[in-house]
Chains A and B, each alone.
Chain A
């Protein structure tokens, strides 16, 4: 039972980091990406390779993951951010589908459907983090770092400029803000943290394969941010806890057969997304009025 709870807590910290990172794009930048699982996946593969081929140092893996996810996203975002909101959503949907195929097919790097197995437990400054409680604290430390950074950035000039162009791109541009640069920086920052979450995930599961980086996963992360409240500090965390505890809670309801739990969970969060958008589009933690 303790092991189960620790496992759940680790996942909550990792997905919390993931939704906080997506919130930088969606909540503060108004950049609606449905491809966040791609960068989560890139980070996971990068972290897994560092651990398998070099040595399983947690910081090194996190750094490599953040670099790879961030740099690739910059390369993709520069052309894609030129187009308007609708097109960007569609382009990111397309990227997600394309990446799923690439992850499945590039077997030399990703191991295909079989994935990469036997990822060793992480080390930190030479010490092996075999104790799940210690690893949990590491995950929480990364989450706290991300939260602190987001909080600090959004109070400063970068965050204000980012939110200004979310609210009115034209006005921000007229005030001399470099829209393309600010947007690209937001994307790089968000996806770099998604990459770190991926590295942590690889260590946590000791195994990665493409199943964790599909459109369903992107939508789950999206739902966490939206249901919790995009553009707020606590919203993504609330959404993450709710959506992670949901399947756990459903297993305790006797009349749902275990094979249907996934579908019932999806049913509930699908309904939650639609109803929230109709009645409370700012999410649970958001202000009652719409963002715009």
Chain B
């Protein structure tokens, strides 16, 4: 039963990783910006939800606040950090260091205002029920699955059918042609940042209830998103989502054989394997340069 139990928590974590990683992949796919501060978005959204709960707000208001904070932060970074850098030189490492600086700033601001300790929100959703003998499932598991399912369905429909969604995919494929058609690549990349940042919110809110938050959570989420994006094929939404789900499952299944400290490391072993043997990722969209 242990394996089944670990599989359940793996799927729960993986569904949330999938959403967060898809946000990162959406931003990278559309704008070609390696958004290293995506983990900071996650952390900010999570702590915004914690703040709302402490103020006694109802959960929809808390989720709303987390969404507003995440989207505002994504848009701010795009306008104030990434765009000025890309206008001048846009060397990959310049973007990376600038984003890393932002991650550090956010982490220390959270430390200063919420303290360094782990914070978790207790909720009746996380109370586990015995479904089969020895197998406990909390309602948050179904909630995570349903959220991931609905969000991916809506996102898929949005990208496939709406003008803005088609614009985003066009931006990913050929920004010059897009501009020739009279569409604004600036507005579309802002849209990509808003959408991508919003995708970090479900993971942050549900993560605040299940695994809890700490100021350093952003770094972990950033690594998971990066790993999932590489393993899925950089810029591929489907790939990132699938790899995120797999990473969540691997991280949890490893616990069956090894100490819990190795669970994060297992994800990175998988990442190395992909970087060395299949850098194009599961869905093979090669990084065009």
Interface residues of A, Cβ cutoff 8 Å to B:
26, 30, 32, 79-80, 82-87, 89-91, 93-95, 97-98, 101-102, 104-105, 215, 219, 222, 226, 260, 262-267, 269-275, 277-278, 281, 290-292
Contact = CB atoms under 8 A, between A and B. Distances in A.
B112 A32 contact: no
Contact of A98 (B93, B105, B259, B269): B269
A83 B108 CA distance: 33
25 contacts: A80-B276, A83-B279, A86-B92, A90-B230, A91-B271, A91-B272, A93-B226, A94-B227, A94-B272, A98-B265, A215-B219, A260-B112, A265-B108, A266-B105, A267-B104, A267-B105, A271-B105, A273-B101, A274-B101, A274-B105, A277-B81, A277-B95, A277-B101, A281-B85, A290-B94
Contacts of B269: 98
B177 interface: no
Contacts of B112: 260, 263-264, 267
B24 to A, nearest CB: 12
Contact of A277 (B85, B227, B261, B272): B85
A85 B34 CA distance: 12
B166 interface: no
Interface string B59-103: 000000000000000000000010011001101111111111111
Contact of B101 (A80, A95, A263, A270): A270
A12 B223 CA distance: 31
Contacts of A91: 271-272, 275
B247 to A, nearest CB: 12
Contacts of B259: 105
B97 A226 contact: yes
Given A269-B104, A278-B81, A85 B262 contact: no
B93 A32 contact: yes
Given A101-B261, A271-B101, A266 B108 contact: yes
A269 B227 CA distance: 26
B100 A281 contact: no
Given A97-B264, A267-B109, A278-B81, A87 B230 contact: yes
Interface residues of B, number: 46
A93 to B, nearest CB: 6
Contacts of A281: 85, 88-89, 91, 94
B157 interface: no
A270 B104 CA distance: 5
Contacts of B287: 84, 86
A85 B262 CA distance: 27
Given A86-B34, A274-B81, A93 B105 contact: no
A87 B34 CA distance: 11
B107 interface: yes
Contact of B92 (A85, A101, A262, A272): A85
Contacts of A273: 97-98, 100-101, 104
Contacts of B271: 90-91, 94
A166 to B, nearest CB: 11
A69 B105 CA distance: 31
Nearest to A79: B276
Given A97-B265, A263-B112, A264-B108, A272 B101 contact: yes
Contacts of A79: 276
B108 A267 contact: yes
A278 B98 contact: yes
B176 interface: no
B120 to A, nearest CB: 21
Contacts of A104: 261
